Amino acid sequence: MNSEAIWGEGAQQFQQMFANGWSQALDSFQKMDLGSAKAPMPLRLAPEKLQALQAQYLQEASDLWQKGLQQGTSAAGDKRFSGEGWAQNPVAAFSAAAYLLNARTLMQLAEAVEADEKTRARIRFGVEQWMAAMAPSNFLAFNPDAQKKALETQGESIAKGIANLLHDLRQGHVSMTDESLFEVGRNVATTEGAVVFENDLFQLIEYKPLTAKVYERPFLMVPPCINKFYILDLQPENSLVRYAIEQGHRTFVVSWRNPDASLGHRTWDDYIDEAVLTAIATVQKIAGAEQINALGFCVGGTMLANALAVLAARGEEPVASATFLTTLIDFADTGILDVFIDEAFVRFREMQLGQGGLMKGQDLASTFSFLRPNDLVWNYVVGNYLKGETPPPFDLLYWNSDSTNLPGPYYAWYLRNFYLENKLVQPDALTVCGEKIDLGRVDLPVYIYGSREDHIVPITAAYASTQALPGDKRFVMGASGHIAGVINPPAKGKRSHWIRADGELPPTLDEWLTGATEHKGSWWPDWAAWLQAHAGKQIAAPKAYGKAPRFKAIEPAPGRYVKQKA
């Protein structure tokens, strides 16, 4: 019997299986606890959409079957199946192409579900996770490249893969790089400096000047406390810290303590008062400066915005200018992370952690990794375990694996007031450190940077900060994602950034883009010129760290806190 007859006989049964299977899938999604505090709404597909997708699938499956039997097929364009083994093995090529057809159809079905947008987003996210996990490349039995390597190495790659798996199980996370090649203070976080202040929450690092003169207004960096500070100081050639020092800024950085059980009761107010506000005041005292310049990165930027609002409520202006890098201030658009956030989820976290405890760093790291499962999870499963490879050294991925905990009350308050209720942009809706805060009173020059492909702080959300802050503003959009877009030193000559020469900031990003011009290379020089304009006159560089007798050097940079493991 020929292939056409085989396919024709099975088509009707297959079509019925297809319809029944998707009906069962919708029923499963409906029964799942998707976090909604409301009663689940029935999930259904319009009959005409389902029928059209069935017909399309059957036609594409028939075409694939014909090609697979007669002349082979391929999954060109997907790097998971780009190895020679996939192209040379007709069965493997067919399995990859069939998988991609199924994945594509499932995503189309998810898009066609008749439900509210949040439910559809959750279904899309679930389907994406499922399909990423079920790729034939993830299994030794279906991966011809891994099989070929096993034969060529006489099984050594399999033995090494098992050893890699056992190693990663012991350390508690998938290895993204050869972590044995990096050490904090030896070949990452190496810019010369000293810890000049510390309390239970953070150490303040002052860096050695690299110029004979420095600007009179010192410069404070506030990194995210969900990561280690040295993303800003990886190695000399890609260190934003070193770059700022080279521009003549007397530079200080907050190095967060990695919380243990003793800090499990700490709150958002504690971090604003005893960390950000304390760091600002300490830098002022050490430098003898009336005002400083400050930078906040990611959650560090959200915390800096809170601190500035508290200071404004008190009628104080110790900060002359602020830089916000990939920062959420207006949480109306939180991108893919929104699939996790609703009243039930936040209430659960409040019950679990609101009165004390730790949000484990590895749980946070895993969540962020699964936002890009093919690149940040399964890619390493295949390389490390199926092929027995050691991933190449990469400082940024070493940092990414160096996770930090969060105090439960801090985390739960952050979820409710920002991610769920978006109160930071509502005047006087929040009380922080005893003050009703209103960003409308934070009237200072700000530099706002967003990354075009950011999946954590969508570029539209980064741009929204331009509408939430009242002062003189400059917005720049960079290429790439949340980290690679920020850590983009000029010497590399990589990527691009976009600026509007007229400085206009219309209500939406799309409107802004119509007048923006692409510039090759890093955005750092543009930011450096902007910061210089707010740094004051130049004075002689200090000869010693800190300021005696109160703020003496405690220990060399990068200090103890950054070396604490979660």
429-454 per-position pLDDT tens digit: 999 999 999 999 999 999 999 999 99
Q: CA–CA separation, 236 vs 189, rounded Å?
A: 9
Which of 1-10, 455-464, 502-511, 534-543 has the least mean pLDDT? 1-10
pLDDT of residue 5: 37
Cβ atoms of 201 and 283 closer than 8 Å: no
pLDDT of residue 22: 44
Judged against a pLDDT cut of 90, whether residue 28 lies above it is answered with no
Which of 137-141, 372-376, 453-457 has the least mean pLDDT? 372-376
Which of 67-71, 393-397, 460-464 has the least mean pLDDT? 67-71
Section 517-541 average pLDDT: 97
102-135 per-position pLDDT tens digit: 999 999 988 888 888 888 899 999 999 999 999 9
Category of 155 on φ-ψ map: left (φ > 0), alpha (ψ -120 to 50) or beta: left
Q: Alpha helix locations (H) across 71-116?
A: 84-88, 90-112
pLDDT of residue 470: 96
The reply to whether the predicted model has a pTM over 0.95 is no
How would you class 2 by CB atoms within 10 Å of its CB: exposed for 0-12, middle for 13-18, buried for 19 or more? exposed
Lookup: tokens for 152: 């060529």
**The three-state (H, E, C) secondary structure of 425-451, written as one string:** CCCCCEEECCEEECHHHCCCCEEEEEE
Lookup: tokens for 452: 């075009």
Share of the chain above pLDDT 70, in %: 91
**H or E element: which one contains 195?**
strand 193-198
pLDDT of residue 88: 85
- The model's confidence at residue 566, banded by pLDDT at 50, 70 and 90, is confident
Judged against a pLDDT cut of 80, whether residue 24 lies above it is answered with no
pLDDT of residue 33: 44
Among residues 231, 289, 298, 444, which one is catalytic?
298
Yes or no: domain 193-360+405-563 corresponds to CATH 3.30.70.1710: no
> Where exactly are the structural domains of the chain?
3-152, 193-360+405-563
Q: CA–CA separation, 440 vs 437, rounded Å?
A: 9
- The model's confidence at residue 83, banded by pLDDT at 50, 70 and 90, is confident
Judged against a pLDDT cut of 70, whether residue 7 lies above it is answered with no
Cβ atoms of 408 and 361 closer than 8 Å: no
How would you class 311 by CB atoms within 10 Å of its CB: exposed for 0-12, middle for 13-18, buried for 19 or more? buried
pLDDT of residue 32: 41
**DSSP at 237:** G
pLDDT of residue 429: 98
Residue 90 or residue 320, greater confidence: 320
Section 370-399 average pLDDT: 93
pLDDT of residue 12: 44
pLDDT of residue 505: 97
Cβ atoms of 488 and 494 closer than 8 Å: yes
Section 393-417 average pLDDT: 95
CA 90, 92, 97 angle in degrees (round to 5)? 95
225 belongs to the catalytic site: no
| Whole-number average pLDDT of the chain | 90
Section 532-557 average pLDDT: 96
pLDDT of residue 51: 87
CA 182, 186, 191 angle in degrees (round to 5)? 120
Judged against a pLDDT cut of 50, whether residue 39 lies above it is answered with no
